[in-house]
Structure 1
């Protein structure tokens, strides 16, 4: 949508008296006419209180309901990610976190959106956990591939054979046994 389209739409709504358009010192204030017709009583009361609390000539503060909605949305996203992570063991989650830490550098911002993380976890549900962890380990252990995005790992998951996964799992189990602490008896003489 272009700026021209937005301006045209705003002029049309203003012409039909659906909204009032007022320029402020920093931006534009658009007020919806007959807002109460479109909203419930609770939201109307909160809106009136917010507008009455502002001094004349000052820009309006962010509506508290908007902040609450955003906080609720963030809680839902975090809960969804947490539910998707339940499928994996603690050791697997360390590998997954390491993968996401590397993957974030494939983004210009250096961050991965929560919605992308959710989509990645949902895509992984198509595969066995062993295949997912195998693919992530292959990715992590090959720094030359760290510039590739998540589709590269999906390809590894799709194309990994049961023998490759079993061989990896066997070598990982051997490494765990070598790392496990051994019990020693202390001579107390």
Structure 2
């Protein structure tokens, strides 16, 4: 995976780390496998590193409750020259009205993580 990371600066790598830290809470286990990370980073290799970092930052800031595959759409929109589509569209499906929980952050995993950080068992 180091080969996939070699194209990024140290500052960009810290954004990538923050991205994976954010996205991991979309899993009930709070973990993301190396295989998924590798698959996504191989996809990112099609794009300029600065564009990838911009997409990751948008995902972290605006869509922290949605799984990593959403970043692919952000990247495609950015590459197409459009301003981020989320600014102009109504994202009702991302505000709790989705038919299923697919792609949503697992709040119980996040709560468990927060309890572990604070040392609380409640």
Q: TM-score range by the shorter chain?
A: 0.5 to 0.7
TM-score by length of 2: 0.63
* Structure 1 residues not aligned, in runs of 5+: 1-80, 166-189
Task: Give the aligned partner of residue 73 of structure 2.
Answer: 155
Q: Which residue of 1 aligns with 2:4?
A: 84
CA distance in 2, matches of 1:112, 1:84: 17
Q: Pairwise mapping of residues 106-145 of structure 1 onto structure 2 (< 5 A)?
A: 106-142=26-62, 145=63
Alpha-carbon shift at residue 99 of structure 1 (Å): 0.2
Structure 2: 5+ residue runs without aligned partners? 85-122
Q: Give the ranges of 4+ consecutive aligned residues of structure 1 lying more than 2 Å apart after TM superposition.
A: 161-165
Deviations along 1:119-178, whole A, 9 cap, x unmatched? 111010111112111101111122xx211111111100001144759xxxxxxxxxxxxx
CA distance in 2, matches of 1:113, 1:119: 10
Structure 1 or 2, whichever has the larger Rg, is 1
Q: How does 1:36-185 map to 2 (within 5 A)?
A: 81-142=1-62, 145-160=63-78, 161-162=80-81, 164=83
- Indicate the SS of the match to 2:7: coil
Tell me which of the two structures has the higher relative contact order, counting C-alpha pairs closer than 8 angstroms and 6 or more residues apart: 2
The structure where strand makes up a greater share of residues is 1
Q: 1:69-126 deviations in whole A, cap 9, x for unaligned?
A: xxxxxxxxxxxx1111001001100100000000100111100111111111101011
The total of aligned residue pairs comes to 83
Q: TM-score, normalised by structure 1?
A: 0.41
Distance 2:64 2:41 in 1: 19
